[in-house]
Structure 1
Amino acid sequence: MTPFGRRIELGTLFDDAAARGVPTAVHLSRPLDIAPGLGTVHDLPALAGLVRDAAGWLAAAGAGRGDRIAIAKRDHWDTVLLCCAAARIGAVPAPLSAHLDAAALDTLLGRLDPALLVTDAARLAASRTAGCAPESLAARTLVLDGGAADVDADALTLDDVRGAPAPAPYRPPVDHPLAIMHTSGTTGVPKLVAHTTRTLLRRLAGFEAHRWPLLSARPDDVVAGAFSFVHGRALAWTAVALAHGPRELLAISAPGWDEAGPLLDRHRPTVVEAQPATFVRWRSRLGDGHPFDRARLFISTFDAVHPPTVRAFLGATRHARPVWLQGWGQSETGPLTFRFLSRRALAAERDRHPTTRDLGRPVPGRTRLRVLDPATLRPVPRGAPGLVVCATRALADGYVGERRRFERKRAGRWFMTGDLGVLTRDGRLLLLDREADALPEGSGTELEDVIEDRLPGVVECVVLSVPGRPSQPVVVAEHGAPDPDAWRDAWRDATRDLPELAEPVVLAWDEIPRTGTGKVRRGVLRERLGLTPETHGTGRWT
């Protein structure tokens, strides 16, 4: 049983925590977009009051029980508060990333058919510049910032709804839709994943909210989160933090050091969860006086993390035995496997098999994995590569607007992850690639690991498959374009025993197209480099 009892409710999440006297102080990297005048430090009773206020706004804007509310605004933790407010009135929140291009946003809104679009002036302006009109795809629109002169005559502003009373909280049946989250969208328009109270809160957040050794936050912990707050992980992370009650909770809404650095410096977190791309950007800050010196636990989410990044952070903290928790899962499934990495595990190089490709074992009693032959879809022996399928009771309810696509990925209780991997004889999962990004010469993810490990000046490497020619590596150099002669020699030495690769393309960090979770949009990158859109994979299972 969790500290909430058997019922974790999204709509009353902050009310319930405040009623239990949870002493957690919430610190923000910048003020809330929905309440900028309240500053950056909040207690739980005040946040519960803000959720109630927001519930009144949404109801006054015309949203009600069973309606879908699309939330498309600048990324911030207040998206979680808006989701709680929507759930409180019985509506179904659908947060959408600010990184979506205008056409993708319109596609998702078309699938959602929302009763209300909650947005900001910047999102509307960006869409209009691209010739799109997201407000036309919702019955009503509420703009969180700007005055009446900045929005269409039919749109509402906060001035129109502020002060409206909040309806009594509604608790939906556990198997009814609770929230709709979208996938990262590395291969195209993201999928809209519908979760219920049972899948998202009871089975995902509820499991994590138990008191687990090492993993659970302690009363004296300072817990920091720096990831996309429009994704389902943000709801689970918040619910679990309120269950554990750490001393402080740090919500970092942008990875840039000008915003993240001051908050981290002031509060010196002991538990840090972030996207791998964010950890990569922060590696250069691990010099004297860095803010991670007290960290005991690092958690990476959303994407593969490479050995140099893990090694750097574990080596930088002054904690005697720090741990890195590497989880693997998907928006549709939640976590499927986990593995704890230590300094010792990463101390010795393992030739062509870096330890971060080993994703550990399925969550005991919660998930099961199989590997299938991609052609026949029959199970392959342990140790053989193939398509990874999973079975979990936390599987999402489906894709909004793409039900047949979801059902094509299911076979009874088994669900196609779209990843390629190997199950070892003792049950560990070795990740190879996304099927859509497969390389004929082996694992592209492993090649990226090896290249980053052997070239200290490379902070990121992406290997793109190109049918009919060697695969194309793209690298981000830490200090910009390297000296050509020195770089040529270093590259030759680092790749001497690897499969043949094309000459690497060196780009700056900001030249790599990314999703809101920091993942590389490989299809867009291929287009920018003038590569064929075809790959060695089929993309059938994305």
Structure 2
Amino acid sequence: MSFTHLPWRRPQAFDDRPCVRDVRVDLSYREFGERVDAAAEQFAALGVGPGDVVATMLPNRVELLITVMAAWRLGAAATPINPSFTATEAGFQAGDSGATLVVTADTSMTLGDAALLDVEELASAPSGSLPPAETVPGDLALLVYTSGSTGRPKGVMLDHANLEAMVASMGAAIGIGADDHCLLVLPLFHVNAICVSFLTPLSVGARLSVLERFHPVEFLNAVETLRPTYFSAVPTIYSHLTALPAEVTPDVSSVRFAICGAAPAPPALLSAVEERFGFAMVEGYGLSEGTCASTCNPVHGIRKPGTVGPALPGQEVAVVGPDGEPVPAGERGEVVIRGANVMRGYLNRPEASAEALASGWLHTGDVGVLDEDGYLRIVDRIKDLIIRGGENLYPKEIENVLHGAPGIAEAAVIGGPDPVYGEVPIAFVSATPGGAVDVDAVLAHSRAHLTKVKLPVEIHVLDALPKNPVGKIDKPTLRRQLTAAGVQEA
């Protein structure tokens, strides 16, 4: 394994190339490596060593990346904590992960037994006291916590071999090269940002620019000014970009492609982005348990709208029936994944690990269909399935139709209780910026595209749909609101 994404394993030719920047600093590969060594020396003096865990609770900034690498330099693991978490939420992750040190901008927060280090006190000049790094493929590298929308978050254990496999897989899929420049806008407490936007470009000597937060106009200004060649984002970000007034016409000609992931995107949205901005849109699919991504439509090659593409290099993706056997092309079943990118398991959750990794495959809990060319279409989550009078309804199909209705920015469909049918589809929608939703028009549009049993029996218009920390629509919250009969229409 090459591990060229690690500063102490980088080719010497990378030294003077631009590496990472944000609004505060702009570092070459040599300078970034020196900052990593300095932080690692500081961590070692605070008692961090091989097998320990370092938590970083910061917004997107270069120091977060330095902290992660410094932990790895010492043979420790890193766990990124959402900086918007409360003390209770952050304390759970720090305690569950066994973190001995937390690097943060808020040292007033008590996080169990972990020591706190103010990010402003992070060392920047190394003394050269560190012994040579010994990076072992099987050593734990990342503890990425699931969103916890259905219970206590679980720590996904990813080792260095998982990360190396993901970097190689993604790099080959998107054709990353030394002249590429990634603009990072997704939160760095999520594995997508770490692997696709950070580690993959560093593995080939490419450049990374880090944005602390997303704002549509500011983001496009950054594209125009910094001239990135690619970025990765979620459907909500692309919805905001396409909703901008027509007179907003930035120069985005440097961008050769953009990736959409983390949540299903309506095909119409991807087409709208391509039509307006002119760069290729590739939708991918994956889980934190698979170290981020497992399929992606090709940057160069056949892209099939409505699919998330074929398996990435080095990975296997199959669709299986209830008996665990693969189903024929075109038939629905559970999506399972196999490859060196699949996690080693959940931290201190042996039963959950055994269930997720049964029969040597990662069981995703997603319903999908593989076509004859191996392109995957995600139908829905198994747990989101609505059974109406014995008939299976897939919310994603209904949501795709709702997204095509006038004035709809986002849509989510869940199953609501019904005394006759058991469950019926209920929709929650939000309007495009500055617009309004005409419920009668939405229902008329739905009737033109859906059979009667699939029509939402209620459409609730909200100012905004609830999101979990990684930007996915939070259906458990919608279900709780529905159960409490507390839905308020806008």
TM tier, shorter chain? 0.7 to 0.9
Structure 1 stretches of 4+ with a deviation exceeding 6 A read 161-164, 341-346
What's 1:336 paired with?
Answer: 294
Question: Does residue 445 of structure 2 align to residue 470 of structure 1?
Answer: no
Aligned counterparts, 1:453-492, within 5 A = 453-455=404-406, 457-468=407-418, 469-480=423-434, 482=436, 487-492=438-443
The structure 2 residue matched to 1:193, chosen from 156, 167, 178, is 156
Change (3 A) 1:17 1:258: farther
For 1:251 and 1:14, the matched residues in 2 are separated by 22
Structure 1 residue 283, shift from structure 2 partner: 2.2
Structure 1 residue 22, shift from structure 2 partner: 5.7
Q: Is the 8 A contact 2:4 2:202 kept in 1?
A: no
Structure 1 residue 194, shift from structure 2 partner: 1.1
Structure 1 residue 240, shift from structure 2 partner: 2.0
The structure 1 residue matched to 2:335, chosen from 388, 399, 405, is 388
Structure 1 residue 254, shift from structure 2 partner: 1.0
Moved more, 336-345 or 48-57: 336-345
Question: Does residue 323 of structure 2 align to residue 369 of structure 1?
Answer: no
Q: Is the 8 A contact 2:318 2:326 kept in 1?
A: no
Structure 1 residue 249, shift from structure 2 partner: 2.8
What is the root-mean-square deviation in Å for CA atoms of aligned residues?
3.0
**Sequence identity percentage:** 23
Question: Does residue 449 of structure 2 align to residue 502 of structure 1?
Answer: no
- TM-superposition CA deviations, 1:275-314 (whole Å, max 9, x none): 2222222223473422434422111122212223211221
Structure 1 residue 18, shift from structure 2 partner: 5.8
Question: Does residue 462 of structure 2 align to residue 513 of structure 1?
Answer: no
Question: Does residue 53 of structure 2 align to residue 68 of structure 1?
Answer: yes
Aligned counterparts, 1:204-353, within 5 A = 204-210=166-172, 215-237=174-196, 238-246=198-206, 248-257=207-216, 259-285=218-244, 287=246, 288-318=248-278, 322-334=279-291, 335-340=293-298
What's 2:475 paired with?
Answer: 522
Change (3 A) 1:276 1:448: same
The structure 1 residue matched to 2:398, chosen from 441, 447, 466, is 447
Letter of the structure 2 residue corresponding to residue 241 of structure 1 = P
Question: Does residue 14 of structure 2 align to residue 20 of structure 1?
Answer: yes
Change (3 A) 1:382 1:307: closer
**Secondary structure of 1:449's match?**
helix
What's 2:76 paired with?
Answer: 91
Structure 1 residue 416, shift from structure 2 partner: 0.9
Q: Is the 8 A contact 2:311 2:317 kept in 1?
A: yes
Letter of the structure 2 residue corresponding to residue 371 of structure 1 = V
For 1:77 and 1:301, the matched residues in 2 are separated by 23
Structure 1 residue 406, shift from structure 2 partner: 0.8
For 1:525 and 1:492, the matched residues in 2 are separated by 20
Q: Is the 8 A contact 2:416 2:482 kept in 1?
A: no
Structure 1 residue 168, shift from structure 2 partner: 2.7
Q: Is the 8 A contact 1:466 1:532 kept in 2?
A: no
For 1:481 and 1:187, the matched residues in 2 are separated by 33
Q: Is the 8 A contact 2:51 2:76 kept in 1?
A: yes
- TM-superposition CA deviations, 1:419-463 (whole Å, max 9, x none): 1122334433221111222223522122212211233x2111111
For 1:93 and 1:449, the matched residues in 2 are separated by 38
What's 2:104 paired with?
Answer: 119
Structure 1 residue 9, shift from structure 2 partner: 5.6
Question: Does residue 136 of structure 2 align to residue 173 of structure 1?
Answer: yes
Instruction: Provide the TM-score with structure 1 as the length reference.
Output: 0.78
Structure 1 residue 111, shift from structure 2 partner: 1.7
Structure 1 residue 415, shift from structure 2 partner: 2.0
For 1:71 and 1:409, the matched residues in 2 are separated by 27
Letter of the structure 2 residue corresponding to residue 464 of structure 1 = I
Q: Is the 8 A contact 1:369 1:388 kept in 2?
A: yes
Change (3 A) 1:260 1:324: closer
For 2:39 and 2:272, the matched residues in 1 are separated by 42
Q: Gaps (5+ residues) in structure 1?
A: 1-5, 32-38, 126-132, 146-157, 347-354, 534-542
Structure 1 residue 340, shift from structure 2 partner: 3.6
Instruction: Provide the TM-score with structure 2 as the length reference.
Output: 0.86
Aligned counterparts, 1:27-42, within 5 A = 27-28=21-22, 30-31=23-24, 39=25, 41-42=26-27
Q: Is the 8 A contact 1:324 1:342 kept in 2?
A: no
**Secondary structure of 2:352's match?**
helix
For 1:8 and 1:532, the matched residues in 2 are separated by 53
